[in-house]
Structure 1
Amino acid sequence: MIPEQFTIAHIAEILKAKSFLPTPNSVIKMLLIDSRTIINAQITLFFAIAAQRDGHIFIADAYKNGIRNFVIADPTYAEKYPDANFLLVQDVIKALQNLAAHKRKLNDLKVIGITGSNGKTIVKEWLYQLLAADYNIVRSPKSFNSQIGVPLSVWQIEPEHTLGIFEAGISKSGEMQHLAEVINPTIGILTNVREAHAEGFANGIEKLKEKLLLFNNAELFIYSPEYVSGVNIDDLPGKNKFSWSLSSAADLKITFIEPIEGRSYIRAIYQNEEIECLIPFIDDAAVENGIICWATLLALGYTAKEADVRLEKLTQVSMRLELINGVDNCSIIDDSYSADISSLAIALDFLNLQNQHPKKTIILSDIYETGKSSEVLYREIAALLIQKNVNRLIGIGSNISSFADLFEMDKCFFERTQSFIEQLPAIHFVNETILIKGARKFEFERISKLLTQKIHDTVLEVNLNALTNNLQYYRSQLVTGVKLMVMVKAFSYGSGSFEIANVLQHQKVDYLAVAYADEGIALRKAGIKMPIMVMSPEPSAFDAMIKHQLEPEIYNLQILKSFLHFLPVDIQHYPIHLKIDTGMHRLGFEQDDVKELLPILNTDELKVMSIFTHLVASADQVHDEFTTQQLHSFDEIYKQIADFLTYKPIKHALNTSGISRWKNAQMDMVRLGIGLYGFDSALTSKNLQTVAVLKTTVTQIKVLKAGETVGYSRKGVMPQGGTIATVKIGYADGYNRAFGNGVGKMLINGKLAPTIGSICMDMCMLDVTGLNVKTGDEVIVFNNEQTIADLAKQINTIPYEILTNISQRVKRVYFYE
């Protein structure tokens, strides 16, 4: 039986940690790895994990925000904060895992463990939908399946829970055993095993065997023979096994699949009888995940009839928060498909990250199946909303409405979603960020549609998780102490402005850089407070730059003298950045300018924050000798200036490809540009993730006769006739006219379709002859399969141009998991 509470002294015993405990009876209920996401500091234990950045450096922030309990690997921190509790361990991540494993052992409940390459999160969420009527379920929030995410998920287990559903993901050998000890599943499910995350394994068999370690102690193992090819059947884990297959003998042998009006009718042989089910999806991945859930229900003892009834009610799972432009200068965070306390905390952190509006509002439904009494639940939520600086609550549902008095903020309540919609004209939403968070039964997608700006159907989806992962990859390449400046010029390479900058500010990069002052001013007005360098300052913008504390790049004597002349007399040590020209021959001081430059810098009015140069060809091996010359010239000029000054400015030269190829030249800071968005010509490995997906829709289908033509000037000819699809993207959206007449291709239903005829201003046509395409179908212009690099090759340009040319009339939707 789990003790009523964990004290820090009790945890010290569990972890066998050396302890410094001025208050040993402090109660711990929450575990934390990120000092920016504190909910209740008094009952929280902070783990200083060394990942891309050493978690010890955030102890000061955590302490400042009220945390007084820490697990550390560096004993010096215990001396700095004598009034705080510290547990000293050798490996902080392992300590986190051991603590979660201990709590798991104290709770005797059925636990489903899920692993595989694809489908883990969907299967987990669908099993939650299918089994929630029979169990009090605790499950992984979102896709928390890593070495850190799994123990944080398992720590949620409480005595009232009767079923746990946890997913586990690995990227290299040696990881799964740790997660198996934490989850200790009684039931194991293996989802699709493909090439994803294969880089950390010698081969596919090694990866498969590593994944199977999760199920070594399982009572029941659910799998498809196709996924375990290469492993002897006698070596498979699980005291009992349940198999399913589309092609070979199995406990559940699928014999027939047919799409019917957006659903899939499936027949199978089970216990020598034919059974059937209807799954409300038709894409291959969803059907496969649905079959895994079908097999699980049958393996758990549900009848074929009951399984069919439940499967037919499955609903779409959206694990991603969407950030969209809303009406009346609002930003909408759409999380309208789920409502539970753990995902609410994640969504509120994302809301708190948004600084572009002065007011933060949440529209929140009743929350169900938490295992807590309603009063305890809503008291906890009320405290959470205050802690996350939420200004206004709109509660929908009879349960949350009955606890209205607990919420000390601007608030209003409605019994039903329809009641809120009817009153919407009287509720004013202006210049605020609105989080829409609701259980599926409340149909909050109706609210999202009403509050979202109506823009045409071409959309650029920006994956903020992928962007963050790319950022962390480049950080992992840096020597300790090297700073990071990130380029957000040109509307963040077409991806957005404050939306990207907010993420970078949250991730604590050191500098942002923009091309022009107005870009920096827009970021300041959106709540970006970090240092911003302006690369092309204009004298006409000096006043605004000073007002908004923007730091100019100074690249010649004339602009330096103009800026000095403009500075108000009462300003001292205004930050500037000196650009040195070592070979780009675009902007910058040259060696001959230094003699005249130095006396001008001898003033208290200015402070040179950094001195930098721009490498011409850091990605090209053929020009490495020239790059070496650039770096040598820069060293000499930097030394002349730094020796003259009484302080040492930041020194930097490397751009994206320079970070990848010139690690010995990182100096004091590097500048990350298009690598943040997934492109680095110096990288050949799959280190970067696709950040942006451009998609549109089919407007109309036409069947043409032999010899008929398509588009302006009759350039698209159909000699044999065929079928064309008109799609909602044209050169005004940034789809270049050079893509016309078969040069460009788009993905429809997984198949490439070439353009036909000229690209029009607002639309273009695709040859979809022989493809099953209908009006309203989604069309992918670029994604991780047909990449921006592929499009660039098609018209002989570079990815920068493809990305930055996307018109701002194209709606940006930002996803965050």
Structure 2
Amino acid sequence: MTLSIQNIEKILHAKRFGDSNGTIDTISIDSRSLQNNQKTLFFALVGPNNDAHQYISDLIEKGVQNFVVTHIPEKLSNKATFLVVENTLEALQRYAAYHRSLFKFPVFGLTGSNGKTIVKEWLNFLMSPDFNIIRSPKSYNSQVGVPLSVISINDRHNLGIFEAGISKMNEMEKLEVIIRPTIGIITNIGSAHDEGFEDLEKKIKEKLKLFKNSKLIIYQKNKLVDSLIESKIKSFSWSYTDETADVFISKKDIQDKTVLQIRNDKDNLEIQIPFQDEASVENAITCLMVLLSFKYSKSTIQNRMQWLYPVEMRLKIKNGINNTTLIDDSYSSDFQSLKIALDFLESQKQYKNKTVILSDIFQSGLSNEELYSKVAQLITSNKINRVIGIGETISEFKHKFKNCITFKNTSDFFLNLNYLNFINETILIKGARHFQFEEIVAALEEKTHETVLEINLNSISHNLSFYKSKLKPITKMMVMVKAFGYGSGGFEIAKLLQHHKVDYLGVAFADEGISLKNTGITLPIMVLNPETTSFSAIIQYKLEPEIYSLKGLNAFLKIAEKRKLKHFPIHIKLDTGMHRLGFEEENLDELIAVLKDNKFVTVKSILSHMATSDDLEHQEFAHSQLNLFEILSSKLMNELQIKPIRHILNTSGISNFPQAQYDMVRLGIGLYGVSNDVEEQKYLDNVGTLKSIISQIRSIQAGESVGYGRRFVADRPTKIATIPIGYADGISRHWGNSIGFVTINNQKAAIVGCICMDMLMVDVSEINCKEGDSVIIFGESPSVSYIAAQLQTIPYEILTSISQRVKRVFYRE
């Protein structure tokens, strides 16, 4: 929808500075998006760790002319149009609420602890033959995500499905005004985000605020929920056990399916769904209730419900053939999620060339002419080098795209696969489900074995924000990506950190930094343990060495002089008590003498490393290190007349010694979701989940043994599952012999016998499982911290031991 600046000024109750003649057709909150243009209205959101006002100058240079701000940045008042408000987030929400008020069709509002996104996607599948649906892209259910979702409604939509997620009190009222649901849906209410609420009743009360103006609420019958629903709102409930519910359901398993027998008033219905796990069955029933409330026929319900499918809610990054990177979004094709996927492609691209494989796009609410014109604009603004379209409709509009080849269907694409020459590029694969783009992903994916380490990029972002919130606004942050990103992957993590504009990256050795530079990382990279033999490469790739000895300094200066360098950045390491690397107090004068009036190098920072920042029993020693660092670094600064960055705090130090932040801190293991503090751990998200599968299941009798050395002998009939992961993948042999466990179908399975080089065996006698089922080696349970404690080591060792033959899969929810 296009609006004039004058209209928006009134909607936001803003004070305008600048031109009032412009029009807006795009809303943005991301300064990094390549989709920003002259028609964009940029809301400069202010969070605990970031203030988007600092990016306005860059946006003006890129052509953006209209901004919603709390203040006009210095020297910019005459360079753009500014709508000044008290709170930019509230202004964004007000804009979305106005937009929502223009439309009168039915709108579902979904809330609950689990299942919202799955129910939303299934309802879209079940009802899209009959409605033109607008829905939240991905899981856009936050105070920011909801308004961005609602703003996408257009005149051709006639049904809305929006998620609303909250984590604390007094959030839902703001979302209710934006969504204005006419029908409420409560999915499973579990323990997610419990820390934001005093008790379950307050949590449910807060969620129910979403439905204060709704006509109907659909939910699983629950006495507490019953008591809290306002009497003016009609309820439509279901239950397995309470026959007073509007719909009574019984279920039975048949092979890998579930048969639901439904009794509704005097009517009976039997349907089949292709799931057996409890969560999927509950989510399917929620969708069934919606179809019943809309008076769908029995035959339609039976036919459509049997085709429900697993929902992939994540954008995944995978290694592809011929030096390619794949971004897998192969189950979704709508305009809003395309914009998200293209932004993700830009933030994670490893290669300069970018290809998009795209199917026909559905349910845009636009005419095909307008839709594919907009898609072409997106493709152009994101500087995509090649488009491969699959589908009859996109084939008709091939002329709108540059360097585009199209195929009528996926089969035609495969007939021509060998001629498409995928090499040295980043490929976004995005298609509607029935195009079966998962087969394209499988064909282009680099083949590795079935054990994978999944890395949640959302969790990385969350943990980064958590530690940023502990810093003063002026404190810089270096993030450690050494040791292959603590085992999680180097480039992908570094690319995300660059996207979040951290100040420095830290690696251990030059080759790690060179690898990052070669893959497009432009952030400053400090090499913490440079070898003298790597100094030439460090200079060539513009890395920044940590210098910790006079021998190393003189060697570097010799090369710097030979190459006629001027003010090349170096970092001086001081030893304040760790006694590992660094200049000590006794050789400080000689260091000063060498550096004084030296034009070849510049001391970019002075640093030290704390030995006991994670152990408060050694506070006295920690403070002695801090005091010595202050003395030595001040002496260097005074004698050399310099003002470098100073930093001494690591992850634990950020939390335990906030007074010593100096100019920068170094975040390490905390980014990856591990803290030495039990209370702090509660606020971090798990980043890595190591997964495998069950290769084979066998039954053994009492007296029979498993594995090398007969370390396990069964004392009863036992069911044994073999998992294809072993000590060559990084699993400690000490974790075997019933000390450790894996998780299968949410149940613990003890490891029996010795862990082998490429496999381990577990007892699954009490677990309902089959060959091919997923196995969690570590993640939420067991956690890396738990394994480390049991093995009397540290989480670093567990994470960095995972071998690089284990495929890393990066994803964003």
Shorter-chain TM-score above 0.5: yes
Distance 1:708 1:234, change over 3 A: closer
Letter in structure 2 aligned against 1:717? V
In the TM superposition, structure 1's runs of 4+ consecutive aligned residues that sit over 4 Å from their partners are none
Per-residue CA deviations over 1:424-463 (Å, capped at 9, x if unaligned) read: 1222111111110001111000100000111111110000
Task: Output the CA distance in 2 between the equivalents of 1:81 and 1:392.
Answer: 40
Cα distance in 1 for partners of 2:141, 2:587 equals 56
- Residue 369 (structure 1) aligned with residue 380 (structure 2): no
Q: 20, 24, 29: which one pairs with 2:17?
A: 20
Q: Return 682-691 or 556-565, whichever deviates more.
A: 682-691
C-alpha separation in 1, matches of 2:346 and 2:36: 16
Percent of aligned pairs with the same residue? 48
1:82-161 to 2 correspondences below 5 Å: 82-161=78-157
TM-score, with structure 1 as normaliser: 0.97
Give the equivalent residue in structure 2 for 1:698.
Answer: 694
The residue type equivalent to 1:95 in the other structure is: A
User: After the TM superposition, which residues 345-494 of structure 1 pair with which residues of structure 2 at under 5 Å, given as runs?
Assistant: 345-408=339-402, 410-494=403-487
Shift of 1:234: 6.7
The aligned residue for residue 673 of structure 1 is 668
Match of 1:282 among 273, 276, 279: 276
- Find the aligned partners of 1:16 and 1:240 in 2 and give their Cα distance: 36
Q: Counterpart of 1:624?
A: 619
Whichever residue aligns with residue 632 of structure 1, its letter is N
Instruction: Give, in whole Å, the separation in 1 of the partners of 2:269 and 2:232.
Output: 26
Aligned to 2:786: 790
What is the distance in 1 between the residues matched to 2:745 and 2:502?
Answer: 39
Distance change >3 Å, CA 742–CA 388, structure 1 → 2: same
Deviates more, 1:686-695 or 1:644-653: 644-653
Matches within 5 A, 1:135-534: 135-226=131-222, 229-231=223-225, 233=227, 235-236=229-230, 239-408=233-402, 410-534=403-527
Deviations 1:774-815 (A, max 9, x none): 211111101113211111122221111110000100011001
Does residue 1:637 correspond to 2:637, yes or no?
A: no
The residue type paired with residue 277 of structure 2 is D
Alpha-carbon distance, 1:712 to partner:
1.0
SS in 1 for 2:365: coil
* C-alpha contact (below 8 Å) 2:221/2:245 kept by paired residues: no
Contact 2:17 2:77 in 1 (8 A): no
Q: Which amino acid is the alignment partner of residue 213 of structure 2?
A: N
Q: Write the mapping of 1:588-607 to structure 2, written as runs, cut at 5 A.
A: 588-602=582-596, 603-607=598-602
Counterparts of 2:673 and 2:127, CA distance in 1: 39
Q: Distance in 2 between matches of 1:449 and 1:339?
A: 18
Give distance in 2, aligned partners of 1:231 and 1:111.
21
Deviation at 1:514, TM superposition (A): 0.3
Residue 355 of structure 1 and its aligned partner are, at CA, apart by: 3.9
1:71-101 CA-partner distances (Å, limit 9, x unpaired)? 1112445x51413111111111111111110
AA in 2 matched with 1:55: A
Q: Residue 650 in 1 paired to residue 625 in 2?
A: no
Q: Structure 1: any 5+ residue segments left out of the alignment?
A: none
For the 8 Å contact 1:217–1:238, the answer to whether it is kept is: no
The one-letter amino acid of 1:520's match is: G
Looking at structure 1, the residues matched to 13 and 186 of structure 2 have their Cα atoms a distance apart, in angstroms, of 34
Pick closer, same or farther for the CA change 1:373–1:129 going to 2, 3 Å: same
Partner of 1:738: 734
CA distance in 2, matches of 1:93, 1:636: 44
Alignment partner for residue 805 of structure 2, among 797, 806, 809? 809
1: CA distance, partners of 2:226 / 2:308: 34
Q: Is the 8 A contact 1:147 1:179 kept in 2?
A: yes
Partner Cα separation in structure 2 for residue 727 and residue 9 of structure 1: 64
Say which is worse superposed, 93-102 or 236-245, in terms of deviation. 236-245
Shift of 1:523: 0.3
> Partner of 1:332: helix, strand, or coil?
strand
Q: Deviations over 1:522-565 (max 9, x none)?
A: 00010001100001111111111111000000011110111101
Counterpart residue identity of residue 799, structure 1: P
Change (3 A) 1:778 1:643: same
Give 3-state SS (helix, strand or coil) of 2:752's partner: coil
Cα offset for 1:231?
Answer: 5.0
Q: Distance in 2 between matches of 1:255 and 1:138?
A: 30
The CA deviation at 1:57 is: 1.3
Distance 1:230 1:769 in 2: 38
* Structure 2 Cα separation of the partners of residues 142 and 208 of structure 1: 24
Shift of 1:488: 0.3
TM-score computed with the length of structure 2 as normaliser: 0.98
Aligned partner of 2:574: which letter?
Answer: I
Residues 326, 332 of structure 1: 8 Å contact kept: yes
Amino acid at match of 2:59: A
CA distance in 1, matches of 2:694, 2:599: 62
Residues 509-518 or 267-276, more deviating? 267-276
Could you say what the CA RMSD is over the residues aligned between the two structures, in angstroms?
1.4
Q: Report the Cα offset of residue 674 of structure 1.
A: 0.5
Task: Give the whole-Å Cα distance in 2 for the aligned partners of 1:117 and 1:705.
Answer: 43
What amino acid is aligned across from residue 434 of structure 1 in structure 2?
I
Say if 1:250 and 1:460 are closer, same or farther in 2 by CA, change over 3 A: farther
Amino acid at match of 1:275: L
User: Partners of 1:422 and 1:562 in 2: how far apart?
Assistant: 59
Q: Distance in 2 between matches of 1:600 and 1:714?
A: 64
Q: 1 CA distance for matches of 2:559 and 2:231?
A: 75
Give the Cα–Cα distance (whole angstroms) in 2 for the partners of residues 144 and 696 of structure 1: 30
Letter in 2 for 1:589: F
Match of 2:608 in 1: 613
For residues 139-179 of structure 1, the C-alpha deviation after alignment (integer angstroms, 9 at most, x for no partner) is: 11111111111111111111111111111111111111111
Q: Helix, strand or coil: the match of 1:230?
A: helix
The separation in 2 between residues aligned to 1:469 and 1:540, in whole angstroms, is 38
CA contact (8 A) 1:335 1:438 kept: yes
CA contact (8 A) 1:462 1:495 kept: yes
- Kept in 1, the 8 Å contact 2:330–2:433? The answer is yes
CA contact (8 A) 1:217 1:237 kept: no
Match of 1:570 in 2: 564
CA drift at 1:38? 4.1
Superposed displacement of residue 647, structure 1: 2.6
Residue 336 of structure 2 aligns to a residue whose secondary structure is: helix
Q: Distance in 1 between matches of 2:805 and 2:687?
A: 19
Structure 2 match to 1:723: 719
CA contact (8 A) 2:15 2:83 kept: yes
Q: CA deviation at 1:646?
A: 3.0
1:450 counterpart letter in structure 2: A
Query: How many aligned residue pairs are there?
Result: 809
**What displacement does 1:237 show?**
6.4
Q: Contact 1:212 / 1:237 at 8 angstroms: preserved in 2?
A: no
- Distance in 2, Cα, partners of 1:102 & 1:658: 46
Distance 1:125 1:255 in 2: 23
